[in-house]
Structures are given as C-alpha cells and as structure tokens.
Amino acid sequence: MIGLGVLKDFKRALDLAGHRLRGEYDEDEWGFDPELAAALEPLTSFLYDTWWRVTATGTEHVPAEGRALIVANHAGVLPWDAAMMAVALRRGGIDRAPRFLVLDWAFGLPWASVAIRRNGGVPASPYNALRLLRQDHLVMVFPEGAKGVGKPWSERYRLQRFGRGGFVELALRTGAPIIPCAVVGSEEIYPKLGEIPGVARLLGAPYFPVTPTFPLLGPFGTIPLPSRWRIAYGEPIDLRGLGPGAADDRATVLEIAEDVRERIQGMVYDNLIERQGAFR
Amino acid sequence: MSARRVLITGVSGPLGARLAARLSADPGVEHVVGIDTRRPPAPLADRITFVEADLRRGELAAILRVAAPHVVIHHDITQFPEPGRSRGHLHDLNVIGTLQLLAACGEVTGLRQIVVRSSAAIYGSAPDAPAFFTEDLARSATLRTRFQRDVAELERLVDAFARRHPAIVCTALRLQPVIGTALDTPIMNLFRAPVVPTFLGFDPRLQLLLDEDALGALVAAVRVPVRGPVNVAADGTVSLARMLRRLRKRALPIASPVYGPAVRALARAGVVPAVDDDVVSYLRFGRGVDTTRMRAELRFVPACTTVEAIDAVADRLRAERDGHTEAAA
C-alpha cells in the first residue's frame, strides 16, 4: 500500500515537472504563478510554524472576496513579512492570493525579481496598485517603504512616516477598505547594526545593511533569525463615505494616513507586550 | 464604413499588402492606393493601385492630390532593417517620411482620417516601469533607443498636425511586438533560432500581438475613428521562460554585463540572431500595456491572447519546418 502511494506521488511529481517544462502552466498578467506559489507552501509553512512560531489574530477582518488594501508596518529587508501575512490569511480560511507591492528597485535584481513576481509581488507604482484594486485583488502595501526596512536596530517598531499617503488615495479612488495590520517579530530577523553607503551606491541599492551575520557569512547571512512573531489584522476602515473626489484633497489624505499609522503603531505596541520576549 | 478611398503607405512591406487586400475586400471601400519605394513582392489584388513613391520626397503632395483619399493609413514605420530598408535610412523614413506625408495630407480636401501605425516601443522597457502602460504615460518615458526616439518624434508630429486640423481624426495605434510567420523581425528570428540568448536571472513579462490581429486593429481604426494614441496588444502576458518552453526552445542565459558583446559575437558566428537595443531591453525587462482604450473606444478585441498567439506561430513554424524536410526527402 505504502509503495503504491509513493509511486503515485512520484508519478504526480513527474507529471508536474513535465508540464512545467512544456510551459503548460498558468501565469496571470502580473506574472503570478499559482502553481509555484503552491509548491513553496511547505517552506512558508515551516517558517510560519516552526521557525517564527507565528500567532495571528484578526484575520476575520479581511474580506473573503472583493478589493481590499492591507496596510502594514515593514521590516526585515526581504519581504518575509508579506509571505507570513499571506500564510496567516490562508490559515484563517481566506484562500486568496494576496498581491504585495515591492520597492521597484528590487525588480532590477537578477533572480530576486523573478522570485518576487512569481509569488505575487508587483512593482510599487500607483498605476499597478490602482489596476490591482480595480481587478478586485487583495493588495498589501507597506507605506514605510525603504525607510521601514532600512531603519537601525534602535528604531525598531517605531513606524516611519507613511510616505505621501499614496495608499489612502488608492483606497479613496477605488472604494477599497483599508485593513491595518501590525507585524511583530520581523524587526529581529535581520538586526541592522549599520550600513555601508559606498557599497549601496555601487549597487544602486537604497542601502546596504550590516547585520550580525551579513555580509560576514556571505549568502548564509541572509538566513533570518528565528524570532517569535505576531501578526494582527485590525478592523477595516471604510472610506467610501468620502467619495473618490477626496483623493485630491491633500489635507484629508494626509490626515487619514496619519490616523492609520497611529492605529498600526498602537497595534504594534499591544502585540509587543503580548509577545513577551523576542526569541522566547 | 464610409471611407471610400484609402491610401496606404508601406504597401510592399510584409503586412502592407495583406492590409491593402483586407481593406479592398471591404464593401465600404471603393478604392485602395498603396505607395512604397519598393515594388510589391507579389501582384496586388484588384481595386488596389500601386504607386511607386518615396515618402521623403515632395512628389507625395501631387500623388495625394490625385488620389484624393478619405483615409490615409501610415503603415510605413519600420523598427528593424528589412529588404529595401537599410538601418541607416530608418530614422529618415520614419520621421522625415511622416513629416512629408503630413505636409501633403494638409493639402488634401476631403481627408477625414489619418491612422498611424505607431509602436508600444515608445514606452521602453524598464524594471521600475508600470506593469501596464496607459496611453498618457508615453510622456513620462525616458527615451533610450533610436526607435523609441523616432516613435516619440513622429507621434509629436502627428499630434501637432491633429491640433492644426481638428476636422481630421488622427489615430496612432501603439502596437506591441507583432509576431507572424511571414515576418522577419528580431523576435521572429528568435522564434526560429536554435537557442535564444536570455539574461541570466531575469524573466521578463512579454506581451505580443498576432499579425492577423494587428491587421484587424488597423481595419478597426478605419471603421471606428478614435482620436489620439491607442495601445494595441493581445490579452495577458507571458514570461519569456514560459514562452520558450511552449516553443520548445532552449534558453542560453548570459550575465547582463557581457550580454551585448556575447550576443554580438554569437551572432557573427551565426549561432543566434542579431538583436537590436530595443529588443535587448525588452528581453531583459519586458513590457505590458493597458488596452482599455482599445476595447472601449476602438471596440476591437484581438482574436488571440498572447499565449494563443505564441502557440499559433509555434504550430505554423513547426508545420513549415516539417514541410521543408518532407520536400527535401
């Protein structure tokens, strides 16, 4: 019986490899490859359950269908936070493929650009975000951007300025609800001790981080530290009452952006207290 | 279709003759005049008059006066060298040709529409570009390659003409790269090559257009006059890796710093086809365009998606090859 099962699994794996080699798999127009994302599921599950021991709350606030904009704090250089937020949703019964906006600089990188895109990453441009939301996607944005991931260890869990409030404009224009999300744990995976501006300039990167393991251990330095994580989704903020016209009102946009930022900052502090220790 | 007399430039090119034949088959079209510097490779169908003329010369005004077209389709815009179109002449043909044609068009009474076969190459290819360019984003694109500058310049000329002649509807169709077995473009050469040089670590999203659909869009533009630029592309995008797999082609990944010299060397050795700078950046970063305007205003929907277009061309190429081997045997 067991032998038969193994044979079946083997045959399935062969079929999968065969049809991937013949290019008979689907990609959507954004280059998202659902099959590849599903194949990576064991890795993300391992990181979620064992490596980072994630506790997720509030996933019921995320709609099961229709457009929505998840706004989260950002840390950890590589977009692990987006990956874990997606797993949290899947575990919460929201079986959607969220798309996340990634600093467009990353799309000029070899391999990383391809991996990010196939897993649902999209260059962070308002045009892309608008199109995604109009197609009723679930979109994750990190308005802190490079300032969030590039902040030093001493600044951890202090949310940076939320850009120019572009995400509020998106929500107003498309009528998508904003779902605030706090991620705790991502700040400890790559503790940034310093940076080397010269190398960053050379590579055209926003910054070149120095962590306890990187660049000391080379590629192994990109293995994230096993901190304990909490991911909390908050109550949706519905802006439809203001109408799309409010997107052109700078003062309103900035006010809402600051309000969302404060709400997420509050959620981050609450979850830091709940977590009781980073590597426990 | 109320357009009775249609004039097509570049009628002897790979798609020109087919476009002329399609239009002349339309019951609403009374007469088609085709002009080109080259003689048509095969005799043109009935109701098509061929006039040998060079767009860059002043004789155009006289031809247009006699032909008195209601619609001018400026199809003679060339991205890549082809027989009768050497590399050094492309800029002159594209820009000066458009300039002279528009000057001549200004003196034609009864002219109602000009359709220009422009190119989505105007947007360029960049890693930080929007995934789907809308028509208004052409202004913000950085002009990097020769053809991109040509297209931007000739569209500016058309735009200026449209403002001076509000009664004439000027349409610029920005076509994504057109594929078809009859074509001899660098992309088609890659389809035929044994290996395709790709950028190591990059896998761009490509969006293409089947030649049939390119013709369909040009005919649709004559049927439904739309002002200004309109993106024309098949639905969906395909990553280069997936495209090559569907074509049963092997990729030859080359690291980006040495890509240019390596491909040039391999092309001289005849291993891979030569690729232009537009194609190089397209193969590295790809490009997608938004086709909302095409659907809503031009009311045109391509018959094939990007994947279907690739499969169709792959099937035809395979049939062609099998035919060759049978003939040889």
CATH number at residue A92: 3.40.1130.10
pTM for this entry: 0.90
Q: Is the pLDDT of residue A234 over 90?
A: yes
Instruction: Indicate the burial class of A276 (C-beta count within 10 angstroms; 0-12, 13-18, 19 or more).
Output: exposed
Confirm whether A51 is domain-assigned. yes
pLDDT for res B2 = 54
pLDDT band at residue A1 using 50, 70 and 90 as cut-offs: very low
Of A24, A27, A128, the CB nearest to B130: A128
Of A22, A31, A131, the CB nearest to B237: A31
Half-sphere exposure of B328 (CA within 13 A, CB side): 6
* All domains of chain B in start order, with CATH: 5-179+208-234+287-305 (3.40.50.720)
Rounded Cα–Cα distance for residues B185 and B231 (Å) = 20
B121 vs A196: which has the higher pLDDT: B121
Confirm whether A29 is domain-assigned. no
Rounded Cα–Cα distance for residues B266 and B263 (Å) = 5
Give the chain B residue nearest A111 (alpha carbons): B201
Q: Is the pLDDT of residue A14 over 80?
A: no
Contact A110 B202 (CB under 8 A): yes
A47 vs B278: which has the higher pLDDT: A47
Q: What ipTM does this complex have?
A: 0.87
- Contact between residue B13 and residue B82 where contact means Cβ atoms under 8 Å apart: yes
Average pLDDT of A70-90? 89
Confirm whether A30 is domain-assigned. no
How far is C-alpha B281 from the chain's CA centre? 17
Give the chain A residue nearest B257 (alpha carbons): A110
Confirm whether A239 is domain-assigned. yes
Confirm whether A180 is domain-assigned. yes
* Of the candidates A227, A232, A235, the residue with the CA atom closest to the CA atom of residue A270: A232
Contact A113 B127 (CB under 8 A): yes
Looking at beta carbons, which residues of chain B come within 8 Å of A109? 201
Contact B201 A111 (CB under 8 A): yes
Number of domains in chain A: 1
Percentage of chain B surpassing pLDDT 90?
65
Q: Is the pLDDT of residue A237 over 70?
A: yes
pLDDT, tens digit (0-9, with 9 covering 90-100), for A99-128: 999 888 888 888 888 999 999 999 999 999
- What is the b/e burial string over B115-128, where b = at least 16 CB atoms within 10 angstroms of the residue's CB? bbbbbbbbbbbbbe
pLDDT for res B44 = 79
Q: Is the pLDDT of residue B308 over 80?
A: yes
Looking at beta carbons, which residues of chain A come within 8 Å of B199? 110
Rounded Cα–Cα distance for residues A229 and A69 (Å) = 22
Confirm whether A183 is domain-assigned. yes
Would you state the structure tokens that stand for residue B127, as one six-digit string? 């890693």
Of A23, A29, A105, the CB nearest to B288: A29
Domain limits for position A83: 44-189+224-275
Phi, psi of A192 (to 5 degrees): -85, 115
Q: Is the pLDDT of residue B262 over 70?
A: yes
How open is the CA angle B216-B218-B224, to the nearest 5 degrees?
95
pLDDT for res A110 = 86
Q: Which DSSP state fits B26?
A: S
Interface test with A, best of B242, B256, B258, B289 (most A CBs within 10 A): B242
Average pLDDT of B126-134? 91
pLDDT band at residue A19 using 50, 70 and 90 as cut-offs: confident
Q: Is the pLDDT of residue B329 over 60?
A: no
Comparing A153-157, B42-46, B221-225, B322-326, the range with the smallest average pLDDT is B322-326
Question: Is the Cα dihedral B262, B268, B270, B275 positive or negative?
Answer: positive
Q: Which residues of B make CB contacts under 8 Å with A?
A: 127-132, 134, 137, 199-203, 205, 235-239, 241-246, 248, 256, 285, 288, 290
pLDDT for res B1 = 45
Of B132, B246, B288, the CB nearest to A23: B246
Average pLDDT of B241-266? 91
Contact B245 A22 (CB under 8 A): yes
The residue behind tokens 């909390």 is A232
pLDDT, tens digit (0-9, with 9 covering 90-100), for B192-250: 888 999 999 999 999 999 999 999 999 999 999 999 999 999 999 999 999 999 988 89
pLDDT band at residue A24 using 50, 70 and 90 as cut-offs: confident
Q: Is the pLDDT of residue A20 over 90?
A: no
Percentage of chain A surpassing pLDDT 90?
54
Q: Which DSSP state fits B59?
A: T
Average pLDDT of B288-294? 97
pLDDT for res B328 = 56
Of B132, B137, B238, the CB nearest to A27: B238
Rounded Cα–Cα distance for residues A101 and A143 (Å) = 9
Size of interface A-B (CB pairs under 8 A): 76
pLDDT, tens digit (0-9, with 9 covering 90-100), for B62-88: 999 999 999 999 999 988 887 778 888
Give the chain B residue nearest A27 (alpha carbons): B238
Give the chain A residue nearest B239 (alpha carbons): A31
Confirm whether A11 is domain-assigned. no
pLDDT for res A54 = 95
pLDDT for res A31 = 93
Confirm whether A12 is domain-assigned. no
